[in-house]
Amino acid sequence: MNFNQLNGATSENRGFQLQENRPPPYAPQQEIYPSLPQATPSYVAFAPKPVNTHQTTATAVPQNTAEKKGIKRCPWKRILCASICVALVLVVLTLLLWYFLYYQCALGKSCRYSGKCLRSSQWCDGVRDCAHGEDESQCCKNIEIPSVLDTQTVHLLCLAKWYSLHFTVRLHGSNFVLESFSSHNQSWVPVCGDRWDDNYGKAVCELMGYKRQDYVTYSRTNAGSLASRGFMKLKPESDHKLQIHLQLFYSPICKESSVGLRCMDCGESVASPSSRIVGGTEASNGVWPWQVSLQISGHICGGSIISPYWIVSAAHCFQKYSVPSMWTVYSGDISLFRMSWDGGNKIDKIISHEKYDSETNDNDIALLKLKTPLTFSRTVKPVCLPNVGMQYSDGHPAWITGWGALQPSGPLPDRLNQAEVTIYSREDCNKQAILNGAVTESMICAGKLNGGVDSCQGDSGGPLVVREADLWWLVGDTSWGIGCALKNKPGVYGNVTHFLDWIYWQMQND
């Protein structure tokens, strides 16, 4: 893992250390203004025709046609024409310059007053990146947002307003209750099963970023206390080919049960892990089918399968080597040696969180898009992304897996190892004697305060999972820690629940 010094302690979980030199992030800028040739007017002198001295009768000298008509030819017309041509060229160049320096940036967007160029993801993300704050000031214009709404709901409303993606559906709890945002009472409410079918289910899953071919099914489920807020129901004239949020209306009652929606067949394992924990034990094939090895001429980091195309890992794994073609994803076995027999899967795209901070390890998460989809099998399956409302309190058991070192600075094992850990509250982890305030909202803390069980170098990006409702859920990606398995120094993981909006947003945009 990638760790920084904290309170004078040196991190041992460094992830990987290859060459230190990096190419510059941007190529040198080319000259924008080409050197233009200047047109020079050409002046021609007209001489009178010589007089024939042999003629006895005087012959008139022919006059210039213009002069015969009383019009004097002036060079200012040529000057004016040349000036107009030069002006037109300058206008074209100015437009081209504006296009490349402003409009191209506007595809990402630029600050109105300073001209600072921002990525699209930096607009309406809750952080003022423009000096005058224009990147955040208009996000919720014309949207009435009561102060009682939580930050996540406000963020979703802003996204819907600015990006017109109608990001107004989500899944809640371990029974996958489908919720939609109701403008009637300004809250999230369950979707009623009246007139619902698989066609609507596929449309919603696709809206969230899943592929239609990965859709599993919908079910009738009990919304429990969520039903106290009312329901969103399909209109009688609704059509699954139209945008789903436009076809829902608020109703205080529902004849059918609520909709439970499975967009991906996830979280299933062929066997249970061993409960014997010392520092960790070797895993069996098929117990952790979502675990992958990310390699550059050997294992570097871990990752978790969430769909045939998508892998969740840690952003710090790709800071030095962010070129997708350098990496290969291996899956389907607990042995690195046996996996090397297969060609693996190449990565098409690496999406590190745009606000990842290498100093604090804040927002340490990345998504990998594969060039070709994984073929699911007994030993290759996705883990479930946690749904809204799934919170894991202090003391909840969890499991970590990886091919990381079994002791600080030790060699990497050939076989996948597993260990059971305990999730601790952020408040406890931030105590001075433990991690001294270094655990942010984007992180989750887990391990053993007595020491002896932890992730280590080479485990970076790998999964932290919990079991609930007979399914395995991805709650963290291995991020950082102080040493390996030290007393009062639990490991720190990216908080996947915190990143749900970001994950679905990236999947949708792709």
Q: What is the pLDDT of residues 80-94, one digit of tens each?
A: 778 888 888 888 887
At which residue do the structure tokens 């320096």 appear?
A: 101
Q: Any idea which of 85-99, 166-180, 366-380 has the lowest mean pLDDT?
A: 85-99
Q: Is the pLDDT of residue 314 over 80?
A: yes
Q: Is the pLDDT of residue 42 over 90?
A: no
Q: 117 and 234: one domain?
A: no
Catalytic residue among 304, 331, 442, 460: 460
Q: 309 and 170: one domain?
A: no
Mean predicted confidence (pLDDT) in 37-44: 35
Q: Does 499 map to a domain?
A: yes
Three-state DSSP state, 118: coil
Mean predicted confidence (pLDDT) in 270-281: 62
At which residue do the structure tokens 């399909």 appear?
A: 234
Structural domain boundaries, residue 117? 98-138
Q: Is the pLDDT of residue 28 over 90?
A: no
Q: Is the pLDDT of residue 388 over 80?
A: yes
Annotation says 197 is catalytic: no
Q: Is the pLDDT of residue 295 over 90?
A: yes
Selected residue with higher pLDDT from 499 and 112 = 499
- DSSP H/E element including 311: strand 310-313
Burial 249-278 (b: 16+ CB within 10 A, else e): eebeebeebbbbbbbbebbebeeebeeebe
pLDDT at 190: 96
pLDDT at 65: 45
pLDDT at 142: 45
We report the CATH number of the domain holding residue 465 as 2.40.10.10
Q: 352 and 397: one domain?
A: yes
Selected residue with higher pLDDT from 484 and 290 = 290
Mean predicted confidence (pLDDT) in 180-191: 89
pLDDT at 137: 63
Distance CA 413, CA 281 (A): 11
pLDDT at 504: 92
Q: Is the pLDDT of residue 35 over 90?
A: no
Mean pLDDT of the chain: 79
Catalytic residue among 364, 454, 459, 477: 364
Q: What are phi and psi of 207, to 5 degrees?
A: -60, -35
Per-residue pLDDT reduced to its tens digit, 425-457: 999 999 999 999 999 999 999 999 998 888 888
Mean predicted confidence (pLDDT) in 385-413: 90
Q: Does 233 map to a domain?
A: yes
Selected residue with higher pLDDT from 114 and 477 = 477
First-to-last alpha carbon distance for the chain, in angstroms, is: 28
Q: 323 and 256: one domain?
A: no
Report how many domains make up the chain. 3
Distance CA 132, CA 261 (A): 43
Three-state DSSP state, 370: strand
Q: 206 and 326: one domain?
A: no
Structure letter (DSSP) for residue 267: S
Annotation says 460 is catalytic: yes
Q: 379 and 501: one domain?
A: yes
pLDDT at 74: 58
- Of 166, 171, 222, the residue nearest 192 (C-alpha): 222
pLDDT band at residue 136 using 50, 70 and 90 as cut-offs: low
**Residue type (1 letter), 425:** S
Whether residue 41 contacts residue 78, with contact meaning beta carbons closer than 8 Å, is answered with yes
Q: 299 and 420: one domain?
A: yes
Give the contacts of 419 (CB within 8 A, at least 6 positions apart). 277, 279, 280, 281, 399, 400, 401, 453, 454, 455
- Of 137, 190, 119, the residue nearest 355 (C-alpha): 119
User: How many CB atoms sit inside 10 A of residue 344's CB?
Assistant: 19
Selected residue with higher pLDDT from 57 and 335 = 335
Catalytic residue among 155, 299, 316, 353: 316
Q: Is the pLDDT of residue 45 over 70?
A: no
pLDDT band at residue 95 using 50, 70 and 90 as cut-offs: confident
pLDDT at 27: 34
Tokens (6 digits) for 159? 């996204």
Which H, E and C letters describe 38-76, residue by residue?
A: CCCCCCCCCCCCCCCCCCCCCCCCCCCHHHHCCCCCCCH
- Of 403, 377, 375, the residue nearest 478 (C-alpha): 403
At which residue do the structure tokens 């952020």 appear?
A: 426
Whether residue 108 contacts residue 120, with contact meaning beta carbons closer than 8 Å, is answered with yes
At which residue do the structure tokens 């041992």 appear?
A: 12
Distance CA 366, CA 493 (A): 13
Tokens (6 digits) for 240? 């699954």
Give percent above pLDDT 90 in the chain: 53
pLDDT band at residue 128 using 50, 70 and 90 as cut-offs: low
Q: How much is the pTM?
A: 0.69
Q: Does 267 map to a domain?
A: no
Q: Any idea which of 73-77, 255-259, 360-364 has the lowest mean pLDDT?
A: 73-77
Q: Does 400 map to a domain?
A: yes
Q: 234 and 197: one domain?
A: yes
Q: Does 113 map to a domain?
A: yes
Distance CA 293, CA 458 (A): 10
Per-residue pLDDT reduced to its tens digit, 205-261: 998 889 999 999 999 999 999 999 999 999 988 877 777 777 899 999 998 899 999
Whether residue 39 contacts residue 50, with contact meaning beta carbons closer than 8 Å, is answered with no
We report the CATH number of the domain holding residue 162 as 3.10.250.10
pLDDT band at residue 50 using 50, 70 and 90 as cut-offs: very low
pLDDT at 86: 84
Q: 350 and 453: one domain?
A: yes
pLDDT at 34: 29
Give the contacts of 341 (CB within 8 A, at least 6 positions apart). none
pLDDT band at residue 411 using 50, 70 and 90 as cut-offs: confident
Q: 257 and 334: one domain?
A: no
pLDDT at 154: 58
Q: 285 and 329: one domain?
A: yes
